[in-house]
Structure 1
């Protein structure tokens, strides 16, 4: 399920993205848009998502302006801190109206409503090729899709989805969590390392210690230090040594060989 989020508050957008992942790891956030104008441009240039979440009051106006200036043919779930817009929202292609702060239980009901309205009988109506594609996706979901595929990061006043395959490592710095990409770019991540560890594919990422999670593709080599410990050398270079304790050395060796 491809999703677009229109929301000008970074923390709210990240929370919504995380809740969607918890409800269904197959949900993919294509983009987070913060303004009316950027939303209109995006919808004009890109294929329609399966569903979109519209915050009503955004940075440069109201998301109703987007609907008035474009022809959108996908279902919408409105999100807002104000309930006075409910009646107007349902004049558009709206299937639900969620009040902030969004509760996981309410979001689950909204997603369930979407699935009942828009996907319930689709597998019967679609052609054989689409059925085959669906079967393949179900098979893949047993292995790869249960893990996070991207994270929302801030870049030049925009929120963009960052593919996990571009990440070299996650690390703790001054009590905040950041990631460093293969291209040596740094982004703040609004999740703890503990939550990240549970959401990342363990075949691709390894919790080296309390301060760092490394991607397999970033590991260049490891040196034995202090008898049975390992110092992992990564690219791009990390600002501090990445040390693996002797208790984790065997697990690391097994992981790196897989």
Structure 2
């Protein structure tokens, strides 16, 4: 299921993203847009998503301005801290109207409503097999542990989704969390290392110390120091010494199958 989020508050956008991935890890967030201008440009240049979440009041105006200037033919879930726009919202392709702060239960009901309203037509069923698969898996998402397939990262004036498989490591510096990709790109992430660790597949990522979470493909070499600590060399290279305590070393070796 391809989703576009229009939201000008970074923390709210991150929370929405986390909730959507909890509801269904197969959901793909195409882009997070913060302004009317950027939204109009994006919809004019890209294929329509399966569904979108529109905050009503955004940085440079109202999301209703987007709907008035660009003909959109996909369903919308409106999100807002105000309830006076409800009637106007339902004049458009609205399937729900959620008041902030948004919780998982309300968002899950809105996604379920989308399923009921937009999967009855057989043509839709035929052309959106991936959507059907995503919605089907909503019911079993609480039974099987799922891990995030992408993270929202800060890039210029936007939030963009970054595939987890592309990430070499996360690290903390001056109370700010960053991630570095296997392709030598660095981004800022609006989450703590503790939260990120809980969302990662432990067979692929390892929390080596308080500052670093590394992926297996990023590990170039492991050096055993005289004090029985381990020292990692990673790709891309990092300026800090990445060490693992002797207490955690044995667990790390088993994880690496050394």
Q: TM tier, shorter chain?
A: 0.7 to 0.9
* Residue 10 (structure 1) aligns with: 10
Calculate the aligned-residue CA RMSD, in Å: 2.9
* Residue 244 (structure 2) aligns with: 244
* Residue 192 (structure 2) aligns with: 192
* Residue 68 (structure 1) aligns with: 68
Distance across 2 between alignment mates of 1:2 and 1:8: 20
Distance across 1 between alignment mates of 2:90 and 2:154: 32
| CA deviation after TM superposition for structure 1 residue 228, in Å | 2.9
Structure 1 residues 87 and 54, CA gap change in structure 2 (3 angstroms) = same
* Residue 102 (structure 1) aligns with: 102
| CA deviation after TM superposition for structure 1 residue 64, in Å | 1.0
Structure 1 residues 145 and 156, CA gap change in structure 2 (3 angstroms) = farther
* Residue 228 (structure 1) aligns with: 228
| CA deviation after TM superposition for structure 1 residue 219, in Å | 0.8
Aligned length: 252
| CA deviation after TM superposition for structure 1 residue 134, in Å | 4.7
Distance across 1 between alignment mates of 2:154 and 2:198: 22
Distance across 1 between alignment mates of 2:66 and 2:243: 51
Distance across 2 between alignment mates of 1:234 and 1:189: 20
Per the normalisation by structure 1, the TM-score is 0.87
- Note the 1:57-136 alignment, pairs <5 A: 57-119=57-119, 125-126=125-126, 130=129, 134=133
In 2, are the aligned partners of 1:56 and 1:80 still within 8 Å (CA)? Answer: yes
| CA deviation after TM superposition for structure 1 residue 250, in Å | 3.3
Three-state SS of the structure 2 residue aligned to 1:255 is helix
Distance across 2 between alignment mates of 1:27 and 1:34: 20
Distance across 2 between alignment mates of 1:30 and 1:62: 21
Q: Which runs of 5+ in 2 are unaligned?
A: none
Distance across 2 between alignment mates of 1:106 and 1:125: 25
Return 170-179 or 54-63, whichever deviates more: 170-179
Distance across 1 between alignment mates of 2:103 and 2:82: 15
| CA deviation after TM superposition for structure 1 residue 187, in Å | 2.2
| CA deviation after TM superposition for structure 1 residue 77, in Å | 0.3
Distance across 2 between alignment mates of 1:186 and 1:103: 31
Q: Which runs of 5+ in 1 are unaligned?
A: none
Q: What's the CA shift string for 1:102-147, capped at 9, x where partnerless?
A: 12222122112112222367699528x949x959x97xx99x9922
Structure 1 residues 5 and 112, CA gap change in structure 2 (3 angstroms) = same
Structure 1 residues 166 and 102, CA gap change in structure 2 (3 angstroms) = same
Return 4-13 or 114-123, whichever deviates more: 114-123
Q: What's the CA shift string for 1:71-128, capped at 9, x where partnerless?
A: 211110001111111100000000001111212222122112112222367699528x
